[in-house]
Amino acid sequence: MTFKNITIERDGLTAVVTINRPDALNALNGETMRELIHAMMEIEEDDDIGAVVLTGAGKAFVAGADIAELSEMGGMEAREASKLGQKAFAAIENLSKPVIAAINGYALGGGLEIAMACDVRIASSKAKMGQPEVTLGLTPGFAGTQRLPRLVGFGRAKELLLVGKPIDAPTALSYGLVNRVVEPDELVDAAKEMAGAIASNGPAAIALVKACVNKGAGAGLETGSAYEAEVFGLCFGIGDAHEGIAAFFEKRDPAWKRKKKD
């Protein structure tokens, strides 16, 4: 599919997805949400992609949902827009390949919400993050009220959601909202380096670890652990565990099976 609002570039086993509406600070309109859903479907099916970096063009990561588009909406339309955004972010969260958010600037409202749907967040030291929706008289609509407390705890999440003021990158790091903070000119390389390290590991194990953590987050310890045991067995059934262990003893790199249909 050809995209208008996003670009996808390959670098080895990594796909760099850039949200590209710099004139609107990469605000997420419906069209961009639909493009993201299609992009995730394409990436899912491509066995030559092992990890994804998500970033924004220009000075912003994503400045939120598109306020111009929101301004035209009635109640039912806004409800559909919320569901569309949630669907797009779930496509990122449920993608079998890890997604690293490279937060290059403002990540506000829907911008922080999309970053939180990613597996790992690396921020530029200049980034600013927050949930300013209440300053516009609305609530977050792309699951910010749900993912933020899971990442930073209820107290900090409620402060960010209720005050509505953005925080800087060092504060986000101290909250555990981002994994690392790097200088702006090192950001994309740092994200690509992490993506490359992930993509060199067993592809099935990577997908299964992501699924275990995500499914476990919504289940109790007992159910999550039972799922993990099934998945652990699967690693041996598909041969990746035998290959990885053999490579360890033979002091060589593992030859992973990348094609699902091999």
Binding residues for ligand CAA, per CB under 6 A? Answer: 24-25, 27, 63-68, 85, 106, 108-110, 113, 132-133, 136, 140-142, 144
Catalytic hit among 44, 72, 113, 159: 113
Q: Is 133 a catalytic residue?
A: yes
Would you call 54 helix, strand, or coil by DSSP?
A: strand
Closest to ligand CAA by CB, 129 or 190: 129
Which of 179, 186, 167 lies closest to 127, judged by CA? 167
Q: Is 113 a catalytic residue?
A: yes
Catalytic hit among 133, 159, 186, 228: 133
Closest to ligand CAA by CB, 67 or 234: 67
Structure tokens at 133: 């929706």
Q: How many Cα atoms occupy the beta-carbon half-sphere of 44 within 13 Å?
A: 12
Compute the least distance from the CB of residue 138 to ligand CAA, in Å: 6
Would you call 16 helix, strand, or coil by DSSP?
A: strand
Task: Round to whole Å and give the CA distance between 215 and 148.
Answer: 17
- The amino acid present at 69, given as its one-letter code, is E
Closest to ligand CAA by CB, 61 or 256: 61
Compute the least distance from the CB of residue 111 to ligand CAA, in Å: 7
Closest to ligand CAA by CB, 66 or 240: 66
Compute the least distance from the CB of residue 37 to ligand CAA, in Å: 16
Task: Round to whole Å and give the CA distance between 159 and 180.
Answer: 22
CA 236 remoteness from chain centre: 28
Q: CB-based contacts of 76: which residues, under 8 Å, 6+ apart?
A: none
Question: Is there a contact between 188 and 55 (Cβ–Cβ < 8 Å)?
Answer: yes
Q: Which residue is nearest to ligand CAA (CB)?
A: 109
Compute the least distance from the CB of residue 166 to ligand CAA, in Å: 8
Compute the least distance from the CB of residue 262 to ligand CAA, in Å: 41
Structure tokens at 131: 């949930």
Question: Is there a contact between 81 and 67 (Cβ–Cβ < 8 Å)?
Answer: no
Closest to ligand CAA by CB, 82 or 179: 82
Could you tell me whether strands 14-19 and 60-62 are parallel, antiparallel, or unpaired per DSSP bridges?
A: unpaired
Q: Which residues are catalytic?
A: 113, 133
